Every structure is written in structure tokens, then in C-alpha cells.
Structure 1
Amino acid sequence: MAPSITETTHETHQVSHETPSKVESLKPTEKATPLVKPLKYSGSLDEYKSFDVTNVIGREFPEARLLDILKDDEKIRDLAITVSQRGVVFFRNQDITVEDQKILGQKLGELTGKPASSKLHRHALLNSKRGLTVDENGKQLDDEISVISSQQFQKFYKERFSPRTRRIASEGWHADITFENVPSDYAILKIHTLPDDVGGDTLWASGYEVYDRLSPTWQKIAEGLTATHQNPEFQRVSTEHGVDLIAEDRGSPENKGLEFSAQHPVVRTNPVTGWKSIFGAGHQIAHGHIDNVTERESELIKAYFLELIAKNHDLQVRFKWNKNDVAIWDNRSVFHTATNDYDGKRQGNRVVSIGEKPYFDPNSVSRREALFGTA
């Protein structure tokens, strides 16, 4: 049935009690003031062997030890800049502990200008409430460590994470915790337990390049939009499995309550690079919508942006995990998705750092403009 000419328009879900009339009004708070200029790489990581995994996204340091980098703030800062520029960075066979992950996760943001009020995210489904209290070495886990467990995912989200699901795999593309008012900047995942056979790869896609694939007209349209990000699954899991949810201070004083809904600009400026990225796309808005447009328009935009992510393999990178490998990515500018093609156990520990409140700076540039002088 064709949509009616009187089709309803989505009301804007508010971050505050005042209705923003333009995306420009979604400015960061005073404490989250963006950097005046993009940060410059100092060259401190040049001593380590590295290579770009694809032209657009991904860099691997096959021999570097994160424990060595942790000793030097300049190297941590350069690592953060590299992650923000390349989207995701990989390290092989690392011996960092969960405490090392936490220190690194917080420093990546602190050394690149995140607000003092932004700490490490505490997942709404606490480890202790899920029966996940120790890591692979028997160390007690606190709530700033998010355990990535295939067994837990299959228990709570059976249809999405079954190896024999009939769902389309590309529906899973997302950035972490965008339902929070102040979402993530950097995330660090170390996989310590792998399936006995093959499978369990992770893919990342560049939000910078998604923006650059749009025509200038579509870019301007996207820059004027906001989107409501929602995650209703937590409430369902809480009800069906009797799991309590954390309602207070999930890494930022602004991340509280049990709504798990936030409004963000569709095009986001990364303060570290100064580059524009599509942010309102993928699974994170599957239960939400594009604000202030009709329902049909919202669905069309959501479908188109997801198509750009899922169908352009040249803006993606696929990583095959080995035991104790580590991936670090910038949630402001990349999407990722798991590959649920295995039956065995797959588990790791993730640290998610809280960054700044998302904003769009109309004076920011695209990745192609910054690197090649042309869009």
C-alpha cells in the first residue's frame, strides 16, 4: 500500500527539555568542547612494523607489544590518532591484562581531549548479574569490563546469535552503545577463547567512507538530520531472564536511566581527525528512527545507509582472530559486526571508553578532502 500524503512525522526524542531546531544546536557541552584543530601524529610508533590492511580502513602492528606502548603517553596518544584515522588497529598475541586494557582505554581518550567526566562504560547488563565474574585467568572482573561471550549472546539473543539463524548477517552492523547520551570514543577487545573449528571473524566498516560515497546533495541532507538511537533489548532480557539493569552513571553522569534512547546527529565530526562520518546508521537505529521526517522517509534513509555499509566491501576490513589478539577501534567513525558462523565457545574482554557528546561541526571536512584535497 502506498504511503498516505498525510503520513505522520516522527517526533523528535529529546536529549534535553528543549527542542533543537537544527542539528547545529546539538553542540557538545562546555566540558566536551572539541579540539580547535585535529591532532597531529608525532611519529612515535614508527619504530614498530605496521601495514595498512586495506586502502580505506585498518592497520596491523604484527610485532608491537601493547605493554611497551602503555609505558609512554606519547605513544598512547599517537595510537589513538592512528586508530581514529584508520578506524581500527590490530595487535597479535598480546599479554595485556584486563587492568591494562582499562588503563589504555581511559588514556586513549584522556590524551586526545575527552571530557574529565567521561570514564569507562559500565554495561547495563552487569557481569555479576550474568554469572560472568572471572576472566580466563580466574581474575575477578569488575563492571568496567564487558565480557563478550557467545554463550551469553545465544542465551539472551538466541535468534540473532545462532549459527543457523535465518537472519541476514548484515543487519548486525553497529557502533557501540550509541543509545547513551554520551557514547563511546574508543573500544578495546581481546579475544582469549576461540571456537575449536573456524569462524567468529569480526568486520569493521568506515563511516568516513560511507559519508564520502554520498553525493554532495545527499551529504547536505544528512548533515541536517538527527536520529534517535534505541536499544529495547535490555528491557526484554531483564524481563525474560530476571536480570537487573544498571540505571546510574554508566561511565558519564549523563548516561543514566532505563530508557536506553538518545538523539545524535546523523553526520558526526570526529574531534581527533576533524573528519565527517556517518553516525546515524545500522543496527543502532533499527529500533529508532531518523527524526522529523515521515516514517517512510526514515525507513528509506535507514535502508540506504545500511546498504552503503553492507554492500561496499571496499570500505570494510575483516579480521580473523587468533588467541589473545587485540583490536582497538573508534566508535565515532566505524561500524562493526560479528560473524556468527560457529558452534563452539568464543569469549573475550572488552573495554569501552566514554568520549564526548556527539556533535556536527559544519566546518569539518571529509576524509577524502583531508587526504586527497577533493571530495
Structure 2
Amino acid sequence: MSQTITETQVETDKIPATLILKNPVQTTPDEYKYSNLLPHFSQDTYPPLTPFSHSDPGLRALDHPDPRTFLRNATSVVELTPRLGTEVHGVNLATLDSDGRDQLALEVARRGLVVFRDQHEFIDRGPEFYKQWGSHFGRLHIHPTSGHPEGFPEIHLVYRDANSTFNFEISDSITSTVWHTDVSYELQPPGLTTFFLLSQPETGGDTLFTSQVSTLKKLSAPFVAFLRTLSAVHSGVEQANFSRSGKRGGIVRREPVENIHPVVRKHPVTGEEALYVNRQFTRRIVGLKKEESENILKFLYDHIDKSGDNQARLKWQPGTVAVWDNRVTAHSAIVDYGDSKERRHGARITPQAERPIPALEGLKLD
């Protein structure tokens, strides 16, 4: 999915901040099935996140005699592209037991993205179930600036309709496509992430994904060896300032942070190496001159943008649930539906994972 603080969409500067804050969503409870999941902007504040120990559930699935058992009853399992993405029909995520969820984590780590169709039962189980589901995969992240269903800050929402928008958006660019990995500025960014749409335009609003494993493999061995020696600053400051300006709900619940991550990280389950920079949150390479950092990052961003042979495009259908691994993919929302004035309402369940593991053993990150 293309840019964002998680998903990014094109801004309409025509919407005044007062409207966004005082009259956020033009609907009444009895006219929309998912009105209980509309964006709410509480005034609650939170202390800084603290480190925690994370063990990926996919590690348990490695010892399973058949770690794809959870797909046994699927009616269709189709690879979207050779390098990224699988689409599954006939598996009910809502009924997966703990073992099945472990296997799912391993499959997503290996394929980067797994798309499940016809998941109406999963979506309709509601926010308490979403929390229970996500907690299996890690500590649930509470977004510092986004809207959430009232009483459920762990559920990150993206929302846009004819009158309102609550996304991190840009208006002075020729494109809304901005590749990112969600909240990569956290010390322990997300691993397995679940996202679905509660309402969507008739056409448009797709999401692009790219394999950061494949983008890395396209580069020459000497250059990859150099990239392994580098670390980069990821920052949430710009996102927070965007909200402080009165947009996106105007709320900052936790002070923004900057953290240093390896430019090339290693997945704790598969051992695969992946490029770990993104245009939205990566700010500079540590230890390099300004021009050196800017030129390397620009090259890498352009490589990510243009590598269509590493990308997959998800066309949403009602009942679709996408599960991806933020450690080895990037995504960007596509905001091409604005003229239709239709609602696009999505919910993300975002468990945090380990602090990114450098591909180069011993790389200093402090």
C-alpha cells in the first residue's frame, strides 16, 4: 500500500482543520454498519514505549512437520507474483487456533504478504477479537497520532470520505505513492500486521506492496556489503508535527521518537536479509556526510519505487484481510478515488516485533 503513517493518501487542503477536529465523520450511527469503528481522537496521552522481549510465533512453526497445515482446507492458493504475495480462498482466519496462527506467521514471513478473501466473519467479530488476534503475534502498538475506535486505541484506523480525512497526506506532490513500512521509527517496529477495509470505493484505493528482500537482491554484491555496514535514523517527528498543525485529528498522544536501525536487517525466523529504509520515515544515514547520505537514500528510494518486478498490487474486495510482514516488505496506498467522494475505512492491527537485527553481526546501532 503506498505511503502513510501507515497508509498514505492524498490530502485535500480544502478541508479546514476546524472541520476535521469538530465534525469528523458525516454519518449517524444507524446508517453505517461499522459506525462503532469510526475514528475517535481521545485526549489520552501515553508515556514512552519501553523495550520488551519478543519471540516470533513463526519460530514455533519451524518445528511443525507440515507448517502449511492451516492451508489444507483452502479451495485456492495462488501466488500473486514469484517473489511476493499469496492469495488464499477457503480458509477462515476467525477459527484459526494457536498452532494455525503460528503457521500463518511463518508463511507470511516467507511470502511477505498473504491475502485472505471472504473473511466477513473475521471482520465482523469486532475490536475485542482484533486485539486477541493481534496479541498472538506481539505487543499491540498504540499509534501516537491516528484515530481509533472509541475505547480501542490499539486499533489503528485509516479513513477518508467526502467530508473528512484522517490520514497522513500530502498535497504538493504529483503522486500519492510513498513507500513505507509502518511506524519504522519505533525501537521495535511492527512484524506481522493485519489490515482490512470496512468500507471501500467501488473502484480504486488499491494497495501496492514490494519485497524488500528482492529489492536488496537486485543490487550488486559489493554494494550490498557496503550497505550492511550502515545504519539510518528513522523519525516520527514529521508525523507528529503534521498532527500538531491541526490535521489528521490534531492529536499527539505520545511524544515522537527517533531510532537508529540497520540499513540491511535480518529476519529472525527465515534468516533472509532485507533492505530497511523507507521514504516516509528514514531521514539520514549515520556517519555519512549530508550529501553522501542523501544520494545513497535517493538511489535506494528510486530503486524501491521503480522495481515493478518486485511488487504486487492488492485490489480490495469486501471481506478481504491482508496480512504482511513489515520487516521484509514496504507498501503504499493508492489514492485515486478522491473524486468519487466514496468512503474508504480501514483498520490495522499492529503487533510490535524485535528490534531490527543487523545483517552484519556486531553493527553498532547506538
TM range, smaller chain = 0.7 to 0.9
Aligned to 1:124: 144
Change beyond 3 A, Cα 1:228–1:52:
same
Task: Report the alpha carbon displacement of residue 159 of structure 1 after superposing the two structures with TM.
Answer: 3.0
Q: CA deviation at 1:304?
A: 1.3
Deviation at 1:228, TM superposition (A): 0.4
CA distance 1:338–1:221, shift in 2 (3 Å): same
Give the length in aligned residue pairs.
296
Which of 65, 69, 72 is equivalent to 1:44?
69
C-alpha change, 1:356 and 1:123, in structure 2 (3 Å) is same
Which aligned segments of 4 or more residues in structure 1 are displaced greater than 4 angstroms? 32-35, 155-158
Residue from 234, 247, 262 that aligns with 2:259? 262
Question: What is the match of residue 24 of structure 1?
Answer: none
Offset of residue 154 of structure 1 = 3.6
Report the CA distance shift for 1:34/1:89 in structure 2 as closer, same or farther (over 3 A): closer
Deviation at 1:141, TM superposition (A): 4.7
CA–CA separation in structure 2 for the residues paired with 1:321 and 1:307: 26
- 1:62 corresponding residue in structure 2: 89
Query: How far has the Cα of 1:82 moved from its partner?
Result: 0.5
Q: Which residue of 2 aligns with 1:78?
A: 103
Going from structure 1 to structure 2, the CA distance change for 1:174 and 1:156 (only over 3 Å counts) comes to closer
Partner of 1:198: 203
* C-alpha separation in 2, matches of 1:208 and 1:304: 17
- Asked whether 1:312 is paired with 2:314, we answer no
Please tell me the residue identity of whatever aligns with 1:182.
Q
> Is the Cα contact below 8 Å between 1:101 and 1:188 reproduced in 2?
no
1:166, distance to aligned residue in structure 2 (A) = 4.2
Out of 335-344 and 143-152, give the one that drifted further.
Answer: 143-152
Q: Residues 1-375 of structure 1: matches in 2 within 5 Å?
A: 31-32=53-54, 40=62, 42-47=67-72, 48=74, 49-69=76-96, 72-94=97-119, 95-96=121-122, 97=125, 98-109=127-138, 119-125=139-145, 127=147, 133=149, 140-151=150-161, 154=165, 157-160=168-171, 166-170=173-177, 172-195=178-201, 197-231=202-236, 232-241=238-247, 243-247=250-254, 258-285=255-282, 288-343=283-338, 344-362=342-360
Q: CA deviation at 1:260?
A: 2.6
Please give the alpha-carbon distance, in whole angstroms, between the structure 1 residues aligned to 2:348 and 2:308: 26
In structure 1, how many angstroms separate the alpha carbons of the residues matched to 2:331 and 2:188? Answer: 19
SS at match of 1:108: coil
TM-score (norm. length: structure 1)? 0.73
Cα 1:267–1:34 change in 2 (3 A) is: farther
SS at match of 1:83: helix
Note if contact 1:59-1:86 (Cα within 8 Å) is conserved in structure 2.
Answer: yes
Deviation digits for residues 173-210 of structure 1 (CA, Å, limit 9, x no counterpart): 00001111111111111101011x31000011001011
What is the DSSP-based 3-state SS (H/G/I as helix, E as strand, rest coil) of the residue aligned with 1:178? coil
Report the CA distance between 1:326 and its aligned residue.
0.5
1:361 Cα offset (Å): 4.0
Residue 156 of structure 1 deviates from its aligned partner by 5.8
Residue by residue over 1:300-336, the C-alpha shift from the partner in whole angstroms, topping out at 9 and shown as x without a partner, is 1111111221111111000000112110110111000
The alignment partner of 2:99 has SS state of helix
1:111-134 CA deviation, whole Å, 9 max, x = no partner?
A: xxxxxxxx100010253xxxx54x
SS of equivalent to 1:274: coil
Q: From the superposition, tell whether residues 102 and 32 of structure 1 become closer, same or farther in structure 2 (CA, over 3 Å).
A: closer
CA distance in 1, matches of 2:146, 2:175: 29
Query: % of aligned pairs identical?
Result: 26
Specify the SS of the correspondent of 1:179: coil
Partner Cα separation in structure 2 for residue 122 and residue 107 of structure 1: 16
Quote the offset at 1:157 in angstroms: 4.3
Partner deviation per Cα, 1:13-57 (whole Å, 9 max, x = no partner): xxxxxxxxxxxxxxxx8935889x896262312412311111000
Tell whether the 8 Å contact from 1:226 to 1:280 is kept in structure 2 after alignment. no
Which residue identity is paired with 2:140?
Answer: L
Could you list the per-position Cα deviations for residues 273-293 of structure 1 after superposition, in whole angstroms to 9, with x for gaps in the alignment? Answer: 1110001233221xx111111
Q: Please list every run of 5 or more consecutive structure 2 residues that lacks an aligned counterpart in the other structure.
A: 1-50, 362-366
Would the alpha carbon gap of residues 156 and 77 (structure 1) be closer, same or farther in structure 2, given more than 3 Å must change?
closer
> Mean Cα displacement is larger for which, 146-155 or 325-334?
146-155
Distance across 2 between alignment mates of 1:62 and 1:345? 26
Letter in 1 for 2:115: F
Structure 2 CA distance for partners of 1:234 and 1:153, relative to 1, 3 Å:
farther
Distance 1:266 1:107 in 2: 28
